Amino acid sequence: GNAGQTVAEILEKIHVLDEEFESNLSTMLAPIWGTNQYWFRVKGEVKAMTAEYGSPTLFLTLSCANTIQQI
């Protein structure tokens, strides 16, 4: 496993393109919203639903817009 490794050891694995480490890292990052791994997984789920059920006839996104400043 990768537990107990120093930052230098992890950076070295990234530098030398350790495929096993990269695979583990991708798995660890997949549930974190905003990472490439997360969106890759979500895209796969959407593609699977489209393949199973066909193209959507209505696509709706709602937002509570909690970042808009009050006047």
Counting Cβ atoms within 10 Å, is residue 25 exposed (0-12), middle (13-18) or buried (19+)? middle
- Full-prediction pTM beyond 0.75? no
Mean pLDDT of the residues in the chain:
82
- Predicted pLDDT of residue 3: 66
pLDDT tens column, 23-53: 777 778 888 888 888 999 999 999 999 999 9
- Domain residue spans of the chain: 1-71
